[in-house]
Structure 1
Amino acid sequence: MMTPIALTIAGSDSSGGAGIQADLKTFAALGVYGASVITALTAQNTTGVSGIHQVPAEFITAQIDAVFSDLAVGAVKIGMVAQPASIDAIVAGLTRWSPKHVVLDPVMVATSGDRLLAAEAVDALRTRLIPLASVITPNLPEAAALLDEPIATDEAAVENQGKRLLAMGCRAVLIKGGHGQGAESTDYFIDAGKTITLAAPRVATKNTHGTGCSLSSAIASGLAKGEDMETAVRNAKAWISAAISAADRFSVGRGHGPVHHFHKYY
């Protein structure tokens, strides 16, 4: 039997709650072997990002080739890619190795509000990386930023933005409603044929550091295990909701603490 393997291409979070660290914890929690390609080192904690050190593009390439030349990668999750040269390296690597599934989390702003993506990288994300994605997972502000529009405030506007993001070339879009209001946190899954509404009770916790990273990694985990896209998205939504619900079992840091990736185990 093949071991399901997922690869995360993302930035490192020194405090362990988001980025590569959250992705590897997610893969492990969901029974998938995780590999990583690090695009940037961040100096950050639960209160914010104090520094970003970019990994040179040629070393991103070296990591991608090392992983794919040896491991049978079932799905790739892409997180923080802060500069156009990194995006070029990733696009070339994915084109060279053509993995079956690519989950793109267009990380532009950290949970703390810190901007993580340079303006010139946004255009490269739109035109080069999105067309390679099986699914992209923007939150409401990220979806708006990708389209240069105001944030959607009702279901019709969200669906409309989702369809326009699809037109950029990805196969599916999951717009996350965690930044919305109301008793439920509603995500919208949109592909060529349908729109599915995925609602979960909104959890009153400030411990939401790394939720976006973890959700996209959970989707990649499902795809690596052979689930179809809709099943992977539904299972990932249920898992992240449980991880957020259990977040207050942790006491980590003074700001936005992490979710509980291993809520099923302790």
Structure 2
Amino acid sequence: MLVSQPPVTFVIAGSEATGGAGVQADLRTLEEFGVFGAAALTCIVAFDPNNGWNHRLTPVDPQVLRDQSEAILAEWTAPDSVKVGMLGTVPTIEATRDILVAAKLRNIVVDPVLICKGQEPGAALDIDTALRADILPLADVVTPNYFETCTLAGVGSIDSVGALADAAKKIGDAIGSAVLAKGGMTIPGDNAVDVLWDGSELVSYARPKVAGAPVSGAGDTLAAAVAAGLALGHSLHDAVDAAKDFVTAGIQRKISAPTPFDVVWQSAH
């Protein structure tokens, strides 16, 4: 029996050892959408259970990232979308920029990880500056969480859907891409609301909040699901709507663990 060729998403992101986030969550998400994922690792994250579950981050050498990407793009010469997650260091950001520019890739979804828990403030500022200069202008869609939205929009806090929409538009106008600002559990109200600025209009996507502990992997899952939708040829609005449904269901099926956070479960079964 012949099987049709699935679309391909090229993932550039970090490994998160417990499996709840990072490349592990990205690949599970893509598979659920019927999309083939090929991943180049940027770093390895191992939470430290003896230090408040801070991140212990080991960067992958930028040349190794280039080598991984070379192999992926030799086999999958024109991936249908790209999902960029945690990069972790300025040299990794520069290598990722070079990879994206040289390959002229399309449907680039960037989840702009600005800081890891436990990361030094100086390093975080350098990463923020490099992401703004080198990666965000290459994106078709940027998916910042609450903290990242505040930082990129230059505001101290966001306390309403209207303010979230204003921030999304401000970021999008500054970098020239669509922005899906994730309000999540942080914005007051009964619904978890994300707002998309597509360059011409603002659209909000609301789903009832799921009570319980914070979850790991929700942001990665949402961004990967948007990349999957674009790889499948869906419009940005349809991709975001389906991604919002998918991540909400994943939070409802979350896996509990002896950690400060539960874990999104992407499986529909």
- Which TM-score applies when normalising by structure 1? 0.92
The superposition leaves residues 93-149 of structure 1 with CA deviations (integer Å, 9 ceiling, x where unpaired) of: 011111111000012345xx5459621010111121111111000112111112332
- 1:60 to 1:168, Cα distance in 2 relative to 1, 3 A: farther
Q: Given the alignment of the two structures, is residue 66 of structure 1 paired with residue 71 of structure 2, yes or no?
A: yes
Q: Who is 1:12 aligned against? A: 15
- Which TM-score applies when normalising by structure 2? 0.91
Q: How far, CA to CA, are the matches of 2:34 and 2:5 in structure 1?
A: 12
Q: Given the alignment of the two structures, is residue 227 of structure 1 paired with residue 230 of structure 2, yes or no?
A: no
Higher mean displacement: 143-152 or 52-61? 143-152
Q: How does 1:1-266 map to 2 (within 5 A)?
A: 1-44=4-47, 48-71=53-76, 72-109=78-115, 113-115=117-119, 118-178=124-184, 179-206=186-213, 208-247=215-254, 250-262=255-267, 264-265=268-269
SS in 2 for 1:218: helix
Gaps of 5+ in 2: none
Q: How far, CA to CA, are the matches of 1:70 and 1:41 in structure 2?
A: 24
- 1:169 to 1:254, Cα distance in 2 relative to 1, 3 A: closer
Question: Is the Cα contact below 8 Å between 1:109 and 1:115 reproduced in 2?
Answer: yes
- 1:211 to 1:109, Cα distance in 2 relative to 1, 3 A: farther
User: Could you tell me how far 1:48 is from its partner in structure 2?
Assistant: 2.0
Q: How far, CA to CA, are the matches of 2:150 and 2:136 in structure 1?
A: 15
* RMSD of equivalent CA atoms: 1.8
- The amino acid across from 1:134 in the alignment is D
Aligned length: 260
SS in 1 for 2:86: coil
- The amino acid across from 2:204 in the alignment is T
Gaps of 5+ in 1: none
User: Could you tell me how far 1:76 is from its partner in structure 2?
Assistant: 0.7
- 1:129 to 1:115, Cα distance in 2 relative to 1, 3 A: same
User: Could you tell me how far 1:2 is from its partner in structure 2?
Assistant: 3.2
Greater RCO, CA 8 A, separation 6+: 1
- The amino acid across from 2:21 in the alignment is A
The superposition leaves residues 40-94 of structure 1 with CA deviations (integer Å, 9 ceiling, x where unpaired) of: 1111278623411011111111111111111141111111111111111111101
Question: Is the Cα contact below 8 Å between 1:26 and 1:217 reproduced in 2?
Answer: yes
- The amino acid across from 1:6 in the alignment is T
